[in-house]
Structure 1
Amino acid sequence: MKISIITVNLNNQVGLERTLNSIEKQTLRDFEWIIVDGDSTDNSKQYLEQNRHFFTHFISEPDAGIYDAMNKGASIAKAEYLYFLNSGDELQGPDALLEIESHLDGTDLIYANINIIDGATKRIKKAPEKLSFRYLYDDLPAHQATFTRRILFEKLGGYDASLKIVADWKFFAVAVLKNNASYKYINSSFSNFYMGGISSLEINAKRLEHERKHILEREFPILLEDIKHRFYLERTLRSLRKSRRILLLQRLGLLNKF
């Protein structure tokens, strides 16, 4: 068995139904599915009890936040790869897991594109084939489109549950930049992410920025200085491109465009 699906939920029965429906339809059945509910007060627990024959494991108890719940699920998992598909998100099409499994070749981190759905609007968020510190400075492949080897997750101690928004970003950055984890990009989309999650809400933007800055300063101080210098050079170049004197020299053929 290669895949452990971990679904975290808190008071989101509607989202649970969408996630369950997408997993129930999968043609690949050789996976385990772990549900971690944060002691919901809506009808989530009743819904899960009614459908628990679909799950390998089901927990419902208070937790310290979404990353604590995700760590709980990972601690139970037995398969080679962990896949976090939280309540509300869904797999795209019945053959999604079947296609994904064909790519699980022992690489530490395997990631793909993801469909972003915001109301009636749908777009594909593409991940890069090659990762860089510049990319990871302010982004990462979506966890709904990432498959992580369980032994890597355990080696790095899972997600930092003291963080509220960017623990998955920290894990990915530390895995690749500090532990030289192997990675592979799949140029395809297997899952749908619906806007409205904690990291996508505008009110959490300042906290997200604060948490990332704190991690960068603590974990990657040398690289952070390099990226700050690059930002300075990029701003300087943009200013030069807008300079009237520079534009005049270019029109006169005395300076090549840059």
Structure 2
Amino acid sequence: MTFLCKNAEYSTTRRLLATEPFNRVPGDAAVKGGLRFLGFEKAGTAGKPLFSVIMAVFNSSAVLEHAIRSVIYQDYDNVELIIIDGGSTDGSVELIRKYDECIDYWVSEPDDGIYYALNKGIEAAKGDWLYFLGSDDVMLNCLHQLACRFVDPNGVYYGDVYYPARHKLFGGEFSAYRVMNCQIPHQATFYPKQLFLRYKFDTRYISASDYAFNIVCYNDKDFKYRYLPVLVAVYEDTSGFSTQDLDKRFHEEKNDLLRKYFSRSDYRTYAIRTFIKGFDRYFVRKIFNLFKKKAV
């Protein structure tokens, strides 16, 4: 089957189920579109799971097309793309319309932030595995390498990302201590659908709810985080929302979250090592300043 995505021919063997086209509710101010409104819906099979790629968008027209194309041109042929736009006014909606027949579901309406949008995307997702891509990030052509390796239905699979501004590969396996220190990038992580029957993103946090989400899920005994050494995405690390470290509430509550969800021994190890690192930094600064004064 071939879709003609205005300006791009997009060939696929994805399994499309003919369904009743979505009907817009009278008086609904939201702008919506995608394959589901044309009466098509994708589904996973035993040998070919469906991946739902969820993207929250707001005034991202300068970078959005690269993100969209990175999803729709995957070699793996059972992917649905869901875009939740927060009422953009910069041409993002027009760009989304350009790829209307390659996007499974999209909506544009004002919302209360990125995690409200992602939670809406979760509700719309039909996939066996959910993945969250920033509108300024690029997903590498990797799903065909990964799909056959997702054998645990309760596994949270994650790989590596590349930071272009820092020219750095970030990844590797995360221990409990490492999770307590830093976030597993959502651009590298695939979550099983059933995880979201239990958890959603906490919308009290404005830029670090994905970190809080991983803290909770990492410690759920019913799910297992599994590392795969595959480069999954290019993570825009210069001006992205999560790079601005705006989440004061999360930083104020992080220790409470760690203490609540990790074991006592894990938290004790974290607290001791954090204290030692802080003391070392303080001591090094004192020595540096002392030599600096003597040099003057």
State the TM-score, normalized to the length of structure 2: 0.71
Are the equivalent residues in 2 in contact too, given 1:9–1:37 (CA < 8 A)?
yes
Instruction: Give SS of 1:17's match.
Output: helix
| 1:57-68 alignment runs, 5 A limit | 57-68=105-116
Aligned to 2:168: 123
Deviations, residues 165-207 of structure 1 (Å, cap 9, x unaligned): 22111111111224452121011202111112222125x3756
AA in 1 matched with 2:178: Y
Are the equivalent residues in 1 in contact too, given 2:84–2:106 (CA < 8 A)?
yes
Instruction: Give SS of 1:28's match.
Output: coil
CA separation of 1:25 and 1:179: change in aligned 2, threshold 3 A: same
Aligned to 1:112: 159
| 1:10-159 alignment runs, 5 A limit | 10-92=58-140, 95-105=141-151, 106-118=153-165, 121-128=166-173, 130-132=174-176, 134-156=177-199, 158-159=200-201
AA in 2 matched with 1:146: T
> Alignment length, in residue pairs?
233
Identity of aligned residues (%): 25
Are the equivalent residues in 2 in contact too, given 1:166–1:211 (CA < 8 A)?
no
Q: Distance in 2 between matches of 1:193 and 1:236?
A: 32
| 1:158-197 alignment runs, 5 A limit | 158-195=200-237, 196-197=239-240
Higher relative contact order (CA 8 A, sep 6+): 1
Residue segments in structure 1 that go unaligned for 5+ positions in a row: 241-258
State the TM-score, normalized to the length of structure 1: 0.80
CA separation of 1:87 and 1:218: change in aligned 2, threshold 3 A: same
Aligned to 1:251: none
Q: Distance in 1 between matches of 2:277 and 2:96?
A: 52
Are the equivalent residues in 1 in contact too, given 2:206–2:247 (CA < 8 A)?
no
Q: Distance in 2 between matches of 1:235 and 1:70?
A: 35
Decide which structure has greater helix share: 1
Aligned to 1:253: none
Aligned to 1:212: 254
Aligned to 2:11: none
Residue segments in structure 2 that go unaligned for 5+ positions in a row: 1-43, 45-49, 284-296
